[in-house]
């Protein structure tokens, strides 16, 4: 073990943890496979298939997350609520990447600090459900648990959990990550060619105008720099992208968890950044047991039901040595609840750890039903939660180091409000999500600009500076 490795140690070597030790703990939100032999077969294949990410990428992300916690970087995590196998196509992947790149440019420029880009993609295929069964017109079937488990159609065939889907999920994730890597390494993210990541259908939008003005400024500064240096600034031709998903389906996570040559410990190589969802954060539960033993950075979603004691124990269990870059708390309270619940959780976090990275998910606490019955979220609530989060952290002597969003590059109408003031009526036009409502392109950019304004306002900097 080299000294850097020792620094990042998280599980004592005499511990009882193994990649399958979670199976001795109560596992919430797992699929019930009727054919266990088929499940074992898929798992075995998953264990033999190549990993999707590498341990050194994970280490690099941990270091960057430590810097986010220290206020030197800002983390932007975003993507679909749930990826679908059908949406594993070049248009959807490219458009999602474009929005994330544009938002990150706005943040880099406005916050004057590097942004860590983390996609909710290449594995975000498993979903927690409030009920394990769904009844329609007197017929009861297993709930849809995400494409990695079963299909969304309300038929017995589609809803039976199929372990073959674990392998399809792995392949779709590999295709997604492969395409993202080729794009960002191959010049797609090149600052000299921002037109590559322009979305044509939003030419008229006021956000697009402000965004292009900013790009113009960046481009001028770049030309100036390159004239001075007498050469192109190569580092600006590519960016880094990390992947993340909810570590919900523990057989899938186990299947890609392995040891690597010359490095200590176990790594979940299905993603860089797995997170524990709000419904699976029980201290004595299987998800916490699984996550405590892997060396990836871990996110934990915390909602209004989280207590100070519970959070303290989670921190002690998942990061006993208080290693920088290991834990990210993603609070998702809702605009009406954050002021009441966040302060005591921050206080508990400050007592238990010096290294926590706090990020805000302003989506999941603000879900409501529109008049038509579909799930929606109001932009004003999303904006308000982010804005309050910055203020509360500052007032508590803490720091908000990032943001976690559900968004898409497609022209959808799933969240109301925003500059175009989408109404409940507009939701009918282009509502595509089978799970949670996402910010569309304009709403995403608008939120990125709002973050810049808020953060600069709080630090006393003027907006035009
Ligand atoms: C999600 O991120 O899609 C999700 C289910 O979140 P949470 O666990 O916060 O409800
Ligand atoms: Co969601």
Write out pLDDT tens, residues 71-83: 999 999 999 999 9
Ligand 1 lined by 120 (C-beta under 6 Å): no
Q: Which residues contact 38 (CB under 8 A, 6 or more apart)?
A: 163, 164
The answer to whether residues 161 and 31 touch, using CB atoms and an 8 Å cutoff, is yes
Whether 248 lines ligand 1, by a CB cut-off of 6 Å, is no
- Of all protein residues, the one whose alpha carbon is nearest to atom 1 of ligand 1 is 81
Cα 124 to ligand 2 centroid, rounded to whole Å: 10
Q: What is the Cα–Cα distance from 336 to 446, expressed in whole angstroms?
A: 21
Check pLDDT > 90 for residue 435.
Answer: no
Residue 465 predicted with pLDDT over 50? no
Q: What are the backbone dihedrals phi and psi of residue 364, each rounded to the nearest 5 degrees, phi first?
A: -75, -20
Ligand 1: residue whose CA is nearest its atom 2: 81
Quick check: 357 and 75 in contact, CB under 8 A?
A: yes
Q: Which of 291, 332, 338, 363 to mutate to test ligand 1, by most ligand atoms within 8 A of the CB atom?
A: 332
Could you tell me the pTM of the whole model?
0.93
Angle, helices 36-48 vs 164-185, to 10°: value is 30
CB 359, CB 401: distance < 8 Å: yes
In this prediction, residue 154 carries a pLDDT of 96
For the Cβ of 348 lying below 6 angstroms from any atom of ligand 1, the answer is no
Please list, in sequence order, all residues whose beta carbon lies within 8 angstroms of the beta carbon of residue 332, skipping any fewer than 6 positions away. 278, 301, 302, 303, 360, 361, 362, 363, 364, 365, 404
Residue 332 CB–ligand 1 contact under 6 Å:
yes
> Ligand 2: distance of its center to the CA of 278 in Å?
11
In degrees, rounded to 5, the angle at the alpha carbon of residue 390 between the alpha carbons of residues 389 and 393 is 80
The rounded Å distance from CA 438 to ligand 2 centre is: 8
Is the pLDDT assigned to residue 402 strictly greater than 60?
yes
| Tens of pLDDT, residues 303-353 | 999 999 999 999 999 999 999 999 999 999 999 999 999 999 999 999 999
Q: Angle of helix 164-185 relative to helix 90-111, nearest 10 degrees?
A: 50
CA 335 – CA 328 distance, rounded (Å)? 20
Q: How far apart are CA 91 and CA 264, in angstroms?
A: 39
pLDDT for residue 233: 61
Contacts of 221 (CB under 8 A, 6+ apart): none
Distance CA 266, CA 293 (A): 7
- Average pLDDT (455-462) is 77
* Cβ(277) – ligand 1 distance below 6 Å: yes
pLDDT at 224: 74
Distance 95 CA to ligand 1 centre (A): 23
404 C-beta closer than 6 A to ligand 1 = no
Q: Write out pLDDT tens, residues 138-155.
A: 999 999 999 999 999 999
Write down the pLDDT at residue 218. 75
Which range is least confidently modeled, 130-134, 231-235, 397-401?
Answer: 231-235
Domain residue spans of the chain: 3-459
159 C-beta closer than 6 A to ligand 1: no
* The pLDDT value given to residue 188: 76
* Residue 360, ligand 1, Cβ within 6 A: no
Architecture of the structural domain at 3-459: Alpha-Beta Barrel (3.20)
Cα 84–89–92 angle (5° rounding)? 80
Whole-number average pLDDT of the chain = 90
Percent composition of the chain: helix, strand, coil (DSSP 3-state, to 5): 45, 15, 40
Q: Which of 277, 362, 405 to mutate to test the pocket of ligand 1 (most atoms within 8 A of CB)?
A: 277
Number of the ligand closest to the Cα of 276: 1
Return the residue whose CA atom lies nearest to atom 3 of ligand 1.
81
User: Which one is predicted more confidently, 199 or 128?
Assistant: 128
Structure tokens at 37: 């032999």
Radius of gyration over alpha carbons of the chain, in Å?
Answer: 22
Residue 358 DSSP class: E
Give the model's confidence band at 411: pLDDT under 50 very low, under 70 low, under 90 confident, else very high.
confident
Nearest atom in ligand 1 to 332's CA: 9
pLDDT of residue 1: 40
Three-class SS of 151-166: CCCCCHHHHCCCCHHH
Count of Cβ atoms closer than 10 Å to residue 272 Cβ: 27
> Is pLDDT of 419 > 90?
no
Confirm or reject: Cβ of 269 under 6 Å from ligand 1: no
Tell me, using a 6 A CB cutoff, whether residue 278 lines ligand 1.
yes
Closest C-alpha to 124, from 25, 233, 272: 272
The whole-number pLDDT of residue 206 equals: 66
């Amino acid at each position: 073990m080299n000294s850097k490795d020792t620094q990042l140690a998280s599980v004592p070597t005499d511990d009882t943890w193994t990649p399958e030790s979670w199976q001795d703990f109560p596992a919430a939100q797992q699929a019930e496979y009727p054919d266990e032999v088929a499940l074992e077969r898929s798992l075995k294949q998953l264990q033999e298939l190549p990993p999707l990410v590498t341990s050194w990428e994970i280490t690099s992300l941990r270091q960057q997350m430590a810097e986010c916690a220290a206020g030197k970087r800002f983390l932007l995590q975003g993507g679909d609520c749930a990826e679908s196998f059908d949406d594993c196509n070049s248009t959807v992947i490219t458009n999602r990447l474009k929005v994330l790149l544009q938002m990150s440019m706005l943040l880099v420029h406005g916050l004057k600090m590097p942004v860590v880009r983390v996609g909710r993609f290449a594995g975000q295929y498993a979903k927690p459900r409030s009920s394990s069964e769904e009844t329609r017109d007197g017929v009861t079937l297993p709930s849809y648990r995400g494409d990695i488990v079963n299909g969304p159609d309300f038929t017995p065939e589609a809803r039976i959990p199929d372990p073959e889907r674990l392998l399809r999920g792995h392949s779709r994730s590999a295709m997604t990550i492969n395409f993202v890597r080729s794009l960002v390494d191959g010049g797609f993210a090149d600052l000299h060619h921002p037109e590559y990541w322009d979305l044509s259908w939003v030419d008229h939008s006021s956000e697009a105008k402000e965004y292009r003005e900013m790009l113009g400024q960046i481009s001028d500064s770049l030309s100036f720099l390159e004239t001075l240096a007498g050469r192109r600034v190569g580092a600006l031709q590519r960016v880094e992208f990390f992947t993340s998903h909810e570590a919900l389906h523990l057989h899938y996570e186990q299947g890609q968890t392995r040891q690597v040559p010359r490095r200590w410990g176990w790594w979940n190589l299905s993603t860089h950044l797995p997170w524990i969802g709000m419904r699976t954060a029980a201290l004595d539960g299987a998800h916490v047991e699984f996550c405590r033993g892997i060396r990836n950075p871990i996110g934990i979603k915390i909602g209004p039901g989280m207590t100070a004691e519970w959070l303290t124990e989670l921190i002690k269990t998942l990061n006993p040595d208080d290693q920088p870059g290991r834990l990210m708390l993603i609070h998702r309270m809702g605009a009406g609840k954050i002021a009441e619940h966040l302060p005591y959780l921050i206080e508990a976090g400050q007592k238990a750890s010096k290294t926590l990275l706090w990020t805000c998910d302003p989506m999941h606490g603000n879900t409501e039903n529109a008049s038509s019955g579909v799930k929606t979220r109001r932009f004003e609530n999303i904006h308000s939660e982010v804005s309050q989060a910055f203020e509360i952290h500052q007032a508590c002597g803490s720091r908000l180091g990032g943001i976690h969003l559900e968004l898409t590059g497609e022209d959808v109408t799933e969240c109301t409000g925003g500059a175009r003031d989408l109404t409940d009526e507009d939701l009918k036009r282009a509502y595509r999500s089978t799970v949670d409502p996402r910010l569309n392109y304009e709403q995403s950019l608008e939120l990125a600009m709002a973050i810049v304004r808020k953060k600069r306002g709080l630090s006393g900097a003027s907006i035009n500076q």
